Amino acid sequence: MSQHYFNKILIANRGEIACRVIRTARKLGISTVAVYSDADKNALHVSMADEAIHIGGAPSRDSYLVYERVIDAAKKTGAEAIHPGYGFLSENAEFCKACKDNGIVFIGPPVAAIEAMGSKSAAKTIMEKAAVPLVPGYHGDDQSRDVLKQAADDMGYPVLLKAVAGGGGKGMRQVWSESEFDEALAAAKREANNSFGNDDMLVEKYLTQPRHVEIQVFCDQHGNAVYLFERDCSVQRRHQKVIEEAPAPGMTEALRTAMGAAAIRSAQAINYEGAGTVEFLLDSDGSFYFMEMNTRLQVEHPVTEMITRQDLVEWQLRVAAGEVLPATQQALSLTGHAFEARIYAEDPDNDFLPATGSLSFLQPPQNSTHVRVDTGVLQGDEVSVYYDPMIAKLIVWDENRDKALQRLTKALKEYRISGITTNIDFLYNLANSQPFRDADLDTGFIEKHHEAIFHAGAADLEKELPLASLYLILEQQQQARKKRAQSHDANSPWFDANGWRLNEAPGHRFQLQIHQQVYTVVAEQLGTGSNSRYAITVNGKTVLAQGQLQGTELSATIDGHQLRASVAAYEGSYSLYTQHSALSFSEVKPDLGDTDTGTDSGGLNAPMNGTMVALLVEADAAVKKDDALLVMEAMKMEHTIRAPADGKVIEFYYQAGQLVDGGAELVNFEVVE
């Protein structure tokens, strides 16, 4: 094989991973072919590639998952190899076999390796024979409810139900008590069947404070294998990773060597080739257990690239072309520390509900030796209901964890996205939380530290609400000055923003919505002119505040405490960033009689476009508050709609399998007083 490995490759994926692969291929002088659906006609990966082939409708089942069309596109364009990225067809053994049958190189492991790891229960058996430690659990063929439940009862709760064919957190449920088992099993089997066409389950003992540590392995076609150290992926929501880092905090050389050796045994047990990730649960006593092996490149691979200074996509291309591994184990070294934060279109305040819409303003931080942004979208692009709502991956590096964490928080503060709800403020608060700074990590991190991360406590609001109010006052004055400067009547009182009130001291009153709650803030102006101070009262507590606003940068003094903040604003919604926290808020405008004041009919509405999966109660059924009524699927996730109060289900408006528009009324529900 020549030094260019391949002359042309096709990328059977979309979004940021397709763009990522194209960048490395371009660096190596390899031509690229993109594939795209109806929804991705104008996508970034399409414009970046040398060629692009349309392969079907917007739903992935009509395009990116139809491997025959992908192979036809490769043959039509003369692509010698296909890079599957991650997700979609990346771990599909039939696709891998079809590539081989058509004389196309699959840039990934052989069919047998994918098949071996494709079943979690079969993988456990293989790992047991390879002397890789396993979590206690049931991995048997008998899938009856009674057998699964008996296994859970014998193990002791909590347990974890996992789809045998699962991945990405799909078909997985924690069960904390015997009474929850049946509902959790039904939900996990339903989600697994929808995602993988296979609802077989395994049951594992659920470790209550484990860390999720994974080892990057690489094998070539000549029997060589290395591990490129570890990543800590403990911080998760819905079993999906939020912030990853490398190396894992507190990792000893002895433990790293032991986990690396176990990962290589795992790979060699299935004659692996290419990039793979062996995922372990690491307990607080230093014991670790095999969880699963992902037979593909991982979303979080950039943190490994940052600490090893290796291009893992280039490694994939070299190995697929038959070359030996680019480095031996002894030649690999670990330098510094890296974080990856996944920027999602989602609402953390609403149980991380995925969001759709247009990226009307998009300004990522500048790429540098310390900051890297992997993305597949541009300003003006739509985040659609059809695909995963990840907008970008923000990756940072520095010489140690503390410095890298400073880089991360600074870059998050500089990331500007408007037009759609994102998790940036959530990530900023998470990264700034004391437990995260202390690396007190486990897979229940977000739930355990919810109040600290979401800054929902009264003490936090008492600090942040005066700042938000001061910003709004100064922003009003800033806008008034601009209008006055552009007016023919500079002395018009309509350009004053001094809070004038008849027979009372000047003042301002704001209704600020934070975390779905509305807070009243009263600010009384003390003095006049640019040095005015304000007595700001929140929840009965008054502070003295003054400050200056230069563009989006706020300099403030609150009760003698000087501090700085920056603010991102878009159509009445604001994000205020201080050194240690981010506060998202919006101003609730006075009701001037133009809003709908009709009474709630008792209906429940779809949170977004999706598909009705299951109706969980019968029409005319009496239900209690928080009882599960129905399940919708949207953006690859299930959403359970629950009763808002004690009441009665009068009628369902949709049946299982039907498409539902966002905002549509789902059920006629009668509240019982």
For residue range 140-179, what is the model confidence (pLDDT) as tens digits?
Answer: 899 999 999 999 999 889 999 999 987 767 889 999 999 9
Is the pLDDT at 506 greater than 50, yes or no?
yes
For residues 504 and 644, the model is more confident at 644
Q: What is d(CA 252, CA 608) in angstroms, rounded to the nearest whole number?
A: 46
Q: How many CB atoms lie within 10 A of CB 54?
A: 15
Q: Is the pLDDT of residue 480 over 50?
A: yes
Of 341 and 664, more confident: 341
pLDDT at residue 490 greater than cutoff 70: no
- H or E element that contains 262: helix 253-268
pLDDT at res. 112 = 95
Which residue did the predictor score with more confidence, 479 or 512?
Answer: 512
Flag whether pLDDT at 600 surpasses 60: no
Extract the tokens encoding 599. Answer: 């009474």
Does the pLDDT value for residue 370 go beyond 60? yes
At residue 106, the 3 state secondary structure works out as strand
The per-residue pLDDT for range 41-85, each reduced to its tens digit, is 999 999 999 999 999 999 999 999 999 999 999 999 999 999 999
Distance CA 199, CA 191 (A): 8
**Each residue of 206-251: pLDDT tens digit?**
887 899 999 999 999 999 999 999 999 999 998 889 999 999 999 9
- pLDDT of amino acid 4: 53
Q: How far is CA 113 from CA 93, 110, 158, 272, 419, in A?
A: 9, 6, 32, 6, 43
Q: Which residue has the tokens 């609802």?
A: 199
Asked if residue 650 has pLDDT above 60, the reply is yes
Residue 2 has pLDDT above 70, yes or no: no
What percentage of the chain has pLDDT greater than the value 70? 93
pLDDT at residue 495 in the model: 46
Helix axis angle, 181-196 to 145-155, nearest 10°: 120
Average pLDDT on 621-626 reads 90
Q: Is 242 helix (H, G, I), strand (E, B) or coil?
A: strand
Band (pLDDT 50/70/90 cuts) for residue 551 is: confident
pLDDT, residue 599, reads 37
In this prediction, residues 629-656 reach a mean pLDDT of: 86
- Select the highest-mean-pLDDT range: 63-67, 117-121, 632-636: 63-67
Q: Which residues contact 581 (CB under 8 A, 6 or more apart)?
A: 428, 429, 432, 455, 460, 464
> Hey, which residues are catalytic here?
296
Give residue 596's pLDDT: 43
pLDDT value at residue 189: 94
The residue behind tokens 């409810």 is 145
* Residue 664 banded pLDDT, cuts 50, 70, 90: confident
d(CA 574, CA 570): 6
Question: Who wins on pLDDT, 618 or 589?
Answer: 618
pLDDT band at residue 289 under the 50/70/90 scheme: very high
- Euclidean distance between CA atoms 306 and 315, whole angstroms: 14
Q: Which domains does the chain have, with CATH numbers?
A: 8-107 (3.40.50.20), 136-205 (3.30.1490.20), 212-454 (3.30.470.20), 464-587 (3.30.700.30), 604-671 (2.40.50.100)
**Mean pLDDT of the residues in the chain:** 89
- Sequence-distant (≥ 6) Cβ neighbours of residue 45 within 8 angstroms: 11, 13, 14, 15, 18, 19, 22, 34, 36, 376
Q: Is residue 547 within 8 Å of 527, Cβ to Cβ?
A: no
Stretch among 305-309, 328-332, 651-655 having the lowest mean pLDDT: 651-655
Alpha carbon 96 to its chain centroid, in Å, reads: 28
Q: Of the spans 137-141, 160-164, 330-334, which averages the highest pLDDT?
A: 330-334
pTM: 0.79
Helix (H) or strand (E) holding 549: strand 541-550
| pLDDT confidence tier of residue 322, bands split at 50, 70 and 90 | very high
